[in-house]
Amino acid sequence: MSNEPSALREYGRHVGLWIVAIALIFVAWKLLLVITGLPPYVIPTPSAAIDVILHNMTMMKQLTQQTLGETFYGYIVGAVLGVVLAVIMAQIPIVHRLLYPALITSQAVPIVAIAAPLVIIFGFGLTPKLIIVAWIVFFPVVVNVLDGLASVDQDQVNLARLLGGTRLRTFMIVRLPACIGPLFSGLKIGACYAVTGAVIGEWTASSHIGLGTYLLTANAQMNTAGVYGAMLLLTAIGIGSFILVVIVEHFATPWRTRMTAPSWFGGKVPSPHSPSTKV
């Protein structure tokens, strides 16, 4: 019997919880204004922040596209470099011992502090912003993939080698699948913080106006509603990035949510967790 209806109900429940959570944030925002009596130039109403977005839709769309592009490309660069370096470090112990302390040290440097040297080296433009975003995404991906590769059952590795598996084949069929879960954990963390790197990059190294530079301009002009409107859009980018990674994770790890393989895999093939496959 297919479990697709139950899966759809589960997705609907999660979407409903997201909607309720976002609604509660707006309710709490409104209640804060009612209870404290703060004037609009300190904290605007939710409707005022949304009105700024709606009444400047063309401009806000361009600003969002700019920041979204910086976030996306920097995220991809950081994620790919993180996975590649983690695999190299896991396969070559001397590289792990040499680089791991350097990685820890690099994260102790405030991200704002490296922005100025990047501008001096690369100038104003896209490159410094991509580096800043990649810098933020890179570390959680490396650490999580390393942990995933280190947690592989050594007996499984020994069995694969005993059955004639080469070092590369053993890595591909035993070690690599074991780090998929930790990999997506790192990717989800990076998705939440990538937009922060894009904003910092725009504040320090931007030659094009994005949501980050708009936020600074609105703040200097005491346009509080504009500040909060930009914050809403930046938050939407962060949430959307996280949800996108979760969706990719769902399709990349179908065995977590279903007892049979998906139809595109070639039919109803029992998964390893199916009762019919247990000895």
pLDDT digits (tens, 9 = 90+) for 65-105: 999 999 999 999 999 999 999 989 888 889 888 888 888 88
Q: 62 pLDDT band (50/70/90 cuts)?
A: very high
- Is 68 within a domain? yes
d(CA 45, CA 121): 42
Per-residue b/e over 45-84, b at no fewer than 16 CB within 10 Å? bbeebbebbeeeeeebebbbebbbbbbbbbbebbbebbbe
Range of the domain at 114: 54-258
| Interval 187-222: pLDDT, tens | 999 998 999 989 988 888 766 788 989 998 999 888
pLDDT attached to residue 91:
82
Residue 49 is assigned to a structural domain of this protein: no
Judged by average pLDDT, the poorest of 15-29, 45-59, 130-144, 262-276 is 262-276
Q: Domain with 253 in it: what CATH number?
A: 1.10.3720.10
Q: With 50 as the cut, is the pLDDT of residue 265 above it?
A: no
| Position 217 in a domain | yes
Q: Model confidence over 118-130: pLDDT tens digits?
A: 888 887 878 888 9
Q: Is residue 264 part of a domain?
A: no
Task: Indicate the pTM of the whole model.
Answer: 0.80
Query: Is residue 244 assigned to a domain?
Result: yes
Per-residue confidence (pLDDT) for residue 264, from 0 to 100 = 42
Tell me the C-alpha to C-alpha distance, in Å, between residue 185 and each of 46, 138, 143, 155, 161. 32, 13, 10, 25, 29
- 195 in any annotated domain: yes
Number of folded domains in the chain? 1
In a domain, 124, yes or no: yes
Q: How far apart are CA 231 and CA 233, in angstroms?
A: 5
Other beta carbons less than 10 A from residue 107's beta carbon: 14
Give residue-wise pLDDT tens across range 266-275.
444 444 444 4
Please give the single-letter amino acid code of residue 108.
A
For tokens 């500040």, the residue is 227
